A and B are shown apart, each in its own frame.
Chain A
Amino acid sequence: MATATTPNRSWYKRNEIAVTPWLFLLPGVIFFALYVIFPIFQSFWISFHEWDGLGEKTWVGTANYERLLGGDRKFETSFWNNIKWLVLYLLAIPMGLFISLFLNQKVFGIRLYKSMFFFPFVISQVVVGLVFSWFYLPNDGLFDVITGLVGIDIRGGVLGNPDTATYGIIAAGLWPQTAYCMILYLTGLNAVDPEQVEAARLDGAKGHKMLWYVIIPQLKPATFIAFVVTIIGALRSFDFIAVMTNGGPFGSTRVLSFYMFEESLSEFGFRMGYGAAIAVVLFFIMLIFITYFLWSMYQDEKGAR
C-alpha cells in the first residue's frame, strides 16, 4: 500500500481491489440465494404446516416430524434403503478403478473400448432403468433365464420380490456410476508421475504393492471426487426407482427422495407439509456428507497454502 492517498479518489477507486470480486460474484450469489438458499428455509417453514398446495396452510407445529420419526414405516423402509444405496453404491469406486487400470494401456482401438465402457454414463438414466427392467423381467428376462439355468428362481422376478428389488435397482445404478468413476480415474492415471513409478520399480515394487503404495496415493484427488459424486448419486437415486418399480412392490424400494416426491407431488400426493418434513430430514442427512466434503476441501486448501 502506498503511504499517501490522494483525497479526491472516489470510494470505489479506493476499495476497488476488495469490491471487484464481489461485484463479479453478485449475480451468482443472488441467484444461488434465491433458488437454493431461500427454498431451503421455505421447506423448513412448510414442514411445520399441513398444506395441500392449493388452500390455506394450517400450522401444525412439529406434528409432521412426530409422525415421520415416530414410527412411520414408509419412512423407515425409505431410510434403510437409502443406507443400502449409500453403502453399495460405493462399489462403483473400486470397480471404476479396476476398469480404468485395465483400460489404461496403449493398444490398437483403445479409444473405442474406452468409449464403449463410458457409454452407459452418456445415455439417460431412464433408458438404463428401462433396459434393466426388461433384463429383470420374470420368465422372459435374460437375467431370469440365466439364474434359471443354475436353478435359482426368484419369486416374482428381481423387481417383483421385495427382498431383491432394491438390490436389483442398485445394480442397475452401478452400471453408469462405474463408468463415471472409471473416467475420473482414467484422467487421474494420466497425472501419475512416471518417475515415481520408475523409482518404485527400481526398488522392486510390483503388482498390488505398486498399486497400493504408489499408484493409489497419487490418485487421491480422483478418489475424492469419485467419492463425492457417488454419494451424491446415491442420495439422488430417484430416476431409477421411478422407472423400474415406482416404489413398489408394496413400497419396498422407496428411498427418501422418492417418498418425498410421492407425498408432495404424485397423483395421490399433495401433502406438502409432510413432503417438506421428509425433505428436511433428507437435507440433514446430506448435510453430514456436505460438511465432511467442505471440511476436507478446506483442509486441503490450508495444506496447499
Chain B
Amino acid sequence: MHSMLKATCASLALGVAATSVSAQDLTGTLRIVSDMSNPAPRAVMEGMAADFDALHPDLTVELEIVDREAWKTQIRNALTANAPDVVNWYAATRMTPYVDAGLFMDISDLWDDPAMAGLASTKGAMTLDGAQWGVPYTYYQWGVYYRKDIFEELGLSEPTTWDEEIANCQAIIDSGRKCYTIGSKFLWTAGGWFDYINSRTNGYEFHIQLANGEVEWTDERVRETFANWRQLIDMGAFIEDHQSYSWQEAMPFMVDGEATAYLMGNFSVAAFRDGGLTDDQLDFYQFPQINPDVAPAEDAPTDTFHIPSGAQNVEAAKAFLLYVTSPDVQSAINGGDALGQLPVNAAASVSDDKFIQEGFDMLSNNAGGGIMQFFDRDFPAEMASVGMEGLQEFMVFPDNLDDILERLEETRQRVYE
C-alpha cells in the first residue's frame, strides 16, 4: 500500500514535470535490461542509453543486453529478483502472465501525458484489463516479399484477389518453380499464414474472437480458412520438406529463384539483401483479399518497453519511456540505417526505404480491419504452441485436418476455462 502511494506521488510529480521533459533533474541510477541483441538493434539501444545518460547529468544509465531468445524465459527471473527499472517485452496477450502476476507496473498515467497523443493507434495493443502496461518503440509490417524479376519474366502482376493469387501461383508452378518458400521447423512461420488466411476469410473480429477462445476450432468458418489454405497446399505452392528448415534456411530457395515469394516480416529484407538480392529483384505486396466483405487486417508485431513493478527509479524509467517514444527519437531509431522499421509515434518521420514506405502506407491506409500482433502474441501461450504445431502438421499432412482441429478444440476448452 505504502509503495503504491509512493508510486502515485512520483507519477503525479512526473505528470507535472513531464510537460517540460528535458528540464527535470533525474538522479540515481537507471537500470535497463534489453533484449535488442542483434547487431543493428544493439547499436540502437546502446545509442539511446548513452544519449539519455548525456541528457541527464545526474543520472547514471546502466544497460545490460540479453540474448533475444534467452530473454523470453529469463524475463521471469529478472522481474522477480532485483528487478531493473526498464525491460523489453512484446505487446498484447504476451504481456498477460506478467500483468496477472503484478510484475509489470500500470503506467496508464503516463499514457495520459499529452506527449503520448501520437501513440494513440498503438494504445490498444498495450491495454489489458483496461490499463496500459508499457509503451511500444517499434513495429514492422508483414506481407509477401517476392521476386519481381521472376514475376516480370512470367508476365505476372501483384495479385490483389484470391483468384489472381491462385492464377499467379499456377503460372509459377508451370514454370517449374514453387510459389512460396517457408521454413516451418520452428513453427511460427506457419502461424503467419494462418493469421492472414483466417483474417482475410473471416475478418479481424473473428480472428480475435478465436484468439480469445470465444469460437470453437471446429467451427465451420475455421474450416473454411483451412479449405482456402489447402487450395495452395494441394497445388504444390509451398516448397517441399519445409518442416526441416528454419526461416533463414528457407531463404536460399527464394534467392536462388527456386521459389518466388515469402510471407514474412520486414526484418527479412536485410537478410534478402545480404543474400544478394537487389531492390530491382525484390518487391513487396500486401496479402491478397479473399473475402471481399471483410476489411484487410495486418500482422504488425510491436516490440515494447515496460517498467517492472519492482523498479527502484520509477521516475527516471518513466522519463526514459517518454524519451523513447518522442518523435525525434522515434524517427532516429527506426531509420533505414538503424532498426529499419516503423516508428510508433505518428509525428515521427518514416524512413525513405522502399519497403518501410510501402509498409507504412499499407498499415495507414489499407489495414481497415485491424492490426494483429501475430499468432504467438495474440493467442495465449499454450494455445499458441499447440496451435502452431497443428498448423505445421496441416501444411505437411492436410488430410489430418479433422484430427488437428479436434486437438486444438480440446486445448481451447482447457486453456480458457
Contacts and interface: CB of A to CB of B under 8 A. Distances in A.
Interface string B224-244: 000000000000000011011
Interface in B372-417: 376, 381-382, 384-385, 389-390, 392-393, 396, 407, 414
Contacts of B382: 268, 271
A139 B241 contact: yes
A61 interface: no
Given A157-B241, A246-B186, A270 B392 contact: no
Contact of B392 (A159, A248, A262): A248
A159 B244 contact: yes
B22 to A, nearest CB: 37
B101 A55 contact: yes
A188 interface: no
Given A73-B407, A156-B244, A271-B382, A265 B186 contact: no
B406 to A, nearest CB: 10
Interface string B63-76: 00000000011001
B76 A54 contact: yes
A144 B126 CA distance: 48
A267 B76 contact: no
B56 interface: no
A68 B243 CA distance: 27
Give the interface residue-count category, chain B. 20 to 34
B244 A157 contact: yes
A233 B159 CA distance: 54
Nearest to A154: B241
Given A52-B97, A250-B389, A267 B73 contact: yes
A137 B407 contact: no
B243 to A, nearest CB: 4
A139 B252 CA distance: 13
A265 B396 CA distance: 28
A249 B97 contact: no
Given A54-B101, A268-B382, A249 B76 contact: no
A168 B59 CA distance: 56
Interface centre among B241, B384, B385 (most CB of A within 10 A): B241
What is the predominant secondary structure among interface residues of chain B facing chain A?
Answer: helix
B103 interface: yes
Contacts of A54: 76, 80, 97-98, 101, 103
B392 A249 contact: yes
A169 to B, nearest CB: 13
Given A157-B241, A248-B392, A249-B392, A270 B101 contact: no
Contacts of A268: 376, 381-382, 384-385
B241 to A, nearest CB: 4
Contacts of B103: 54
A138 interface: yes
A270 B381 contact: yes
Interface string B168-199: 00000000000000000111000000000000
Contacts of A28: none
Given A52-B97, A248-B392, A268-B376, A138 B244 contact: yes
A155 B187 CA distance: 18
B112 interface: no
Contact of B244 (A53, A160, A269): A160
A53 B101 CA distance: 10
A62 interface: no
A115 interface: no
Contact of B72 (A245, A248, A267): A267
A139 B253 CA distance: 12
Contact of A250 (B97, B376, B381, B393): B393
A187 interface: no
Nearest to B385: A268
Interface string A120-159: 0000000000000000011100000000000000011101
Interface string A264-296: 011111110000000000000000000000000
A223 B211 CA distance: 55
A265 B73 contact: yes
Contacts of B384: 268
Given A52-B101, A267-B73, A156 B241 contact: yes
A139 B244 CA distance: 11
B243 A270 contact: no
A157 B240 CA distance: 10
Contacts of A250: 243, 389-390, 392-393, 396
Nearest to A266: B73
B293 interface: no
B78 to A, nearest CB: 12
A248 B389 contact: yes
B100 interface: yes
B394 to A, nearest CB: 9
B172 to A, nearest CB: 20
Nearest to B186: A246
Contact of A53 (B76, B241, B381): B76
Interface string A215-256: 000000000000000000000000000000110111100000
Given A73-B407, A160-B241, A270-B97, A248 B381 contact: no
Interface of B: 72-73, 76, 80, 97-98, 100-101, 103, 185-187, 240-241, 243-244, 376, 381-382, 384-385, 389-390, 392-393, 396, 407, 414
Report, nearest first, the 3 A-B pairs whose CB atoms are least far apart: A268-B385, A160-B244, A54-B101
7 contacts: A52-B101, A54-B97, A54-B101, A138-B244, A160-B244, A249-B396, A271-B382
